[in-house]
Structure 1
Amino acid sequence: MKNFVSIITLLMLSVSLTYAEIPKAGFSVTPLNTDKWPAQYRLTLTVPKDHHAYLDTGDDNIYIPVTVDPNSKLVASGLTISKLEKPAGVHDSLVKANVLRDKGDFTLELAQTGSKPAIVNSASLELTYQLCNELTNVCFRPQTTQADLTLPASTVAASVQDDESLSFMDKLLALFESNKNNMFIMFGLMFVAGLLSVATPCVYPMLPITSMFIVGRANGDASKEKQHALAYFIGMVLTYMALGLMAGMTGGAFNTFMQSAFVNLGFAVFFAFFAIALLGFYELSFMQNEVHSLDQHSSKVKGVSGTLLMGSVAGLVISPCVGPIVFALLLQVADNIAEKAAALALINQSLDFWGKLSIASQGSVMMSGFGLGVGLPFFIISVVKFKKMPKAGYWMNKVKYAFGFMILYFAYTYLQKGMGVLGVDPSTTVTLAIGLVAIWIAVVHCHVLTLMPRDAQPNQKMQHYVGVLSIIVGGWLVVAGMGQLPFMNTAQAESFAHNGAVQSAASNNIPAALPVQKEAGISWYRSFDAAKKVAQETGKPIFIDFYASWCANCTEFKKESANNEQLNQALREKAIAVKLVDKEPEFEKFRASQEHRQLKIGLPYFAIITPEGKLVWSGTDYKATQKMVAELDRLS
């Protein structure tokens, strides 16, 4: 028994001595800039003599490198690491890794996340490291140390003001940010966001119209109504699931694809194709004979398939209304991958395809919650509210025509977006559209290309005469519009590129040589560098409106800046206003910046920058005018 006790005692003593001998590295923080955001610090890690720490995982990917904020606790304080520079270290051929000996300095730059401002004047920073003894070749267990960071003193005051001026979108995104690691809560929030999107003014009226359209697709059969409603519902959910997956896998590259002129023109043709079918000019069917030979109920299969397809494109149709919400949610998905990729980059690792797919799949599931929220009201109102409507009648044709004209309108909006990306003036797009409609009326309705019989009735002659006039006017409008296209008229393209010519704004103390565009009393600089010089001279913040002619909500903000008195006054008197247009060099420079990663997802996007070039606020909600004014008031 005594021997047993002695053995246990020796084991406990050896264990305690082993832990007591584990060396520790010194860790200290030196503030470099804590007066304003982003805050900068120097982190000093002192390694004991005859030891080293790892700066990467090594060639064999087996070591634990020095990691700053390994558990992402800074996010809880509304902070994010915007920049981290490591010491150079030396490459040790024996361990095949980059190691740190003696002492090394890390340069850390912290920024506010924007969605959840910090509410304290200090934050705790953790650092994890692993030491190895170079004499005994023993590597010790990883250790975590911490130090306190002093934050800019203006954080508390700014956070109180932020809470008062946050828009609904900002609060919603803050809620998403604080719960982004909880899949169940995120799914629920996405579902609620989808329900709220249906309440927007241009989506809500579509509920009864869509319901009657589904009843018409079912030919008044109550059992088929449920099938078509379910198919429409599933189509909408699948669309948003696909968007979430693509946003995660491409990091927003899908949106860049959607900004292509030819893609938008392709959607215009696609929607016009369906609209004309709904208007009754031809029967929409694909491979009807082949399907009929495989299934005697081909009409049923074809009908449900068509409804599924219509539901899948419905998510894109209503995008002008729910665009800011969809883009904001897709940004959360893309950011999730970006954060994990950045964390791995700090330890010289990268996120492989399967890692991206895993995270993107989570984003797809979250976006399916949004699709469920958007599609559920359409499904319920189609199955429940309108289940006792008349089974058949001429009213179905009226509903079908109304739906066809609505789809045709959306085809025109995509035509306008595509032409806008090509640099075509909106008036030219309208001219071309009217011309094409006139030619359509002449050919399809007036049969102008068909020979008139000799015994034609007077009304037939009049119809033919109207058709001739229509095709002449339509042809003239198309030719005139084509003449205004940039690739048809180089001089006109250059004139369009410099639209809103340089003005001599001496009354506003603006040098005449600077490119300035006047709108509703606001002097919009078209060059960020020029605006920055003026901002440094006047001490005013810079407000940037990232604009594109294809962006419907960008146009709405243009109206808002003219009609909202508080916003208009703030942009005129308290800020240097800048408007950067999509595809321009300065726009692309901002798009490539990590600080403005929202530009990779979509527009609109707005940013407020100090005269020194520091980002203090950014957002995608064009209706958040109260927040914009509050930020400009605080900085002026």
Structure 2
Amino acid sequence: MFDQINGWVSDQLAISSGPSAYLFLFLGGVLASLLPCVYPVYPLTVNFLRNRKSDLGKFAHPLIYYAGLASIYFGFGIIAALTGGAFNQVLQLPLANLSIGLLLFVMALATVDLLHLPFFGGQVESEKNGLGGTFVMGAGAGLLSSACVGPIVVSILIAIASGASEITFGLTLGAAFKMMLFGLGVGIPVLLLGVFGMALPKSGKWMLSVQWVFAIMIGYFAIGYFVKGLNGLGFNDQMASYTIIGAILFVYAIFQIQSVQKTKQEKIKTALYSLLGVIGFLIMASNVLPGQAVGGNNLTASNSDSDNIEQKGELTWYLNKENAYSKAGETGKLVFVDFHADWCTNCKAFQEKTQKDEQLNAALQNAVLYKVYDTSTEFDKYRNDPRFPELKIGIPFFLITDASGNVLYKTNDFTKTEEMILFLE
């Protein structure tokens, strides 16, 4: 479902202009709001808003919450116009993914009342019922949902960047307005739930089951972000999974050994602080003990400075453009170009796919492979090429060209391996 929504938004932005483009942005946001990784935000929204009161009426807080959510996307548009997609690059950082995972994990605990977060609802005191806090919560929900719909957001940023010959006030405002429209679409269910959620059915045992279902959903996506962040730090999927399982078991053990007189919220806090202490100790120890590879990718990798070649398993990647295209001219093969960075989590995820996906691996072996690191001078040349506005937004980015450099295919979505295979074959 996610790939279809992303593709639909990209296609409509490519063929539409004027008012219709703005309409498709809003509709794309509404569709994105139905994604399963956005949906867990909704019960938290209802739990939060139903306890907020205002002299301005019952619609005040839902509307302010909605405005806060939309404002985050408005800010993304400004960032896209001024910095060329810094938001997308931030999302690729391991620390960003780990932070998102931590936020989701905390929200999962709060959903089943294992952790008390005043901002998410509960018994909110009257003096804390100001509209400012509601606006901040809406902005937080927008930030959380934006991480989930990141690839769709990138598609919009690419459309914005493709028409950006220079930065102007009009361009910046237009980019911000486009992103805000998408955010307004994403927030539609949140707004409706906030308005009608003021009169929820009476609580009962059924609500506990619902809360646990949502907590499990949120926890599932938290684990996904944790794995992605750990991959970016050099852990393979197996080591990342073992690390997460170990952390969960550690928290559970600390929770269980505490006094029964403590509340469950106090136990969870102690367990989380204990885990934080262990992580801090391991980080300090890693800077003291002799350095070793952390996990690795179980891939045979070697670099040859003289030949400018990088070997990954059975795949040979050229690091020099002239050598790559010379080889393509000799063999008549297509050239697959991978724009890569060591800090980019999706770049590393694709690197894993090239080894684990047998069809993709076989297709790549029939092409000349050229890898362009973000630290190379060639990367800047590609980035300034008007044919590739995607690189203004960030990486990953992939090209398939013929031996003469004519572009046959390009994408910034590392999951579209079937399309890559189709063009390579």
* Same structural fold, with TM-score higher than 0.5 when normalized by the shorter chain: yes
Matched, 1:176 2:13: yes
Structure 2 CA distance, aligned partners of 1:628 and 1:334?
24
Equivalent residue runs for 1:421-570 within 5 Å: 421-447=232-258, 489-492=290-293, 496=296, 499-502=299-302, 514-518=309-313, 523-525=315-317, 527-529=319-321, 531-546=324-339, 551=345, 555=349, 559=353, 565=359, 570=363
Structure 2 CA distance, aligned partners of 1:592 and 1:367?
23
Q: Which runs of 5+ in 1 are unaligned?
A: 1-166, 342-350, 454-469, 504-511
> 2:118 aligns to what SS in structure 1?
coil
Matched, 1:249 2:58: no
> 1:325 aligns to what SS in structure 2?
helix
The amino acid across from 1:176 in the alignment is L
> 2:301 aligns to what SS in structure 1?
coil
Deviation at 1:174, TM superposition (A): 5.6
Contact kept, 8 Å, 2:109 with 2:115, in 1: the verdict is yes
- List per-residue Cα deviations over 1:300-350 (Å, max 9, x = no partner): 75874574244223323423xxx322101012223333x2x2xxxxxxxxx
- List per-residue Cα deviations over 1:559-589 (Å, max 9, x = no partner): 5996685x6654343x224456x65648855
Partner in structure 2 of residue 81 of structure 1: none
Deviation at 1:247, TM superposition (A): 0.6
Matched, 1:318 2:148: yes
Equivalent residue runs for 1:357-376 within 5 Å: 357-376=169-188
Q: Root-mean-square deviation (CA), in Å?
A: 4.9
Hey, which of these two has a bigger chunk of helix by percent? 2
Deviation at 1:173, TM superposition (A): 4.0
Matched, 1:188 2:23: yes
Equivalent residue runs for 1:257-268 within 5 Å: 257-268=90-101
> 1:490 aligns to what SS in structure 2?
coil
Deviation at 1:270, TM superposition (A): 4.1
Q: Which runs of 5+ in 2 are unaligned?
A: 262-270
Deviation at 1:210, TM superposition (A): 4.5
Contact kept, 8 Å, 1:230 with 1:379, in 2: the verdict is yes
> 2:163 aligns to what SS in structure 1?
helix
Partner in structure 1 of residue 203 of structure 2: 392
Equivalent residue runs for 1:177-256 within 5 Å: 177-180=14-17, 182=18, 184-198=19-33, 200=35, 202-203=36-37, 207=39, 209-219=40-50, 229-256=62-89
CA spacing shift, 1:438–1:306, aligned 2, 3 Å? farther
CA spacing shift, 1:562–1:283, aligned 2, 3 Å? closer
Contact kept, 8 Å, 2:77 with 2:175, in 1: the verdict is yes
Structure 2 CA distance, aligned partners of 1:282 and 1:172?
38
> Larger Cα Rg: Structure 1 or Structure 2?
1
- List per-residue Cα deviations over 1:104-136 (Å, max 9, x = no partner): xxxxxxxxxxxxxxxxxxxxxxxxxxxxxxxxx
Structure 1 CA distance, aligned partners of 2:318 and 2:255?
46
Equivalent residue runs for 1:50-89 within 5 Å: none
TM-score, normalised to structure 1's length? 0.51
Deviation at 1:274, TM superposition (A): 4.0
Aligned pairs, how many? 403
CA spacing shift, 1:560–1:480, aligned 2, 3 Å? same
Partner in structure 1 of residue 154 of structure 2: 327
The amino acid across from 1:540 in the alignment is K
Deviation at 1:613, TM superposition (A): 4.0
> 1:492 aligns to what SS in structure 2?
coil
Structure 2 CA distance, aligned partners of 1:564 and 1:377?
40
CA spacing shift, 1:172–1:560, aligned 2, 3 Å? farther
Structure 1 CA distance, aligned partners of 2:389 and 2:247?
39
Partner in structure 2 of residue 605 of structure 1: 397
CA spacing shift, 1:177–1:542, aligned 2, 3 Å? same
Structure 1 CA distance, aligned partners of 2:43 and 2:107?
17
Contact kept, 8 Å, 1:417 with 1:550, in 2: the verdict is no
Structure 1 CA distance, aligned partners of 2:286 and 2:242?
11
TM-score, normalised to structure 2's length? 0.72
Contact kept, 8 Å, 1:424 with 1:486, in 2: the verdict is no
Deviation at 1:497, TM superposition (A): 8.8
Structure 2 CA distance, aligned partners of 1:168 and 1:269?
27
Matched, 1:280 2:72: no
Contact kept, 8 Å, 1:279 with 1:401, in 2: the verdict is yes
Hey, which of these two has a bigger chunk of strand by percent? 1
Partner in structure 1 of residue 191 of structure 2: 379
Structure 1 CA distance, aligned partners of 2:114 and 2:411?
45
> 2:247 aligns to what SS in structure 1?
helix
Contact kept, 8 Å, 1:598 with 1:605, in 2: the verdict is yes
Contact kept, 8 Å, 2:74 with 2:177, in 1: the verdict is yes
The amino acid across from 1:444 in the alignment is F
Please point out which of 410, 419, 422 is paired with 1:618.
410
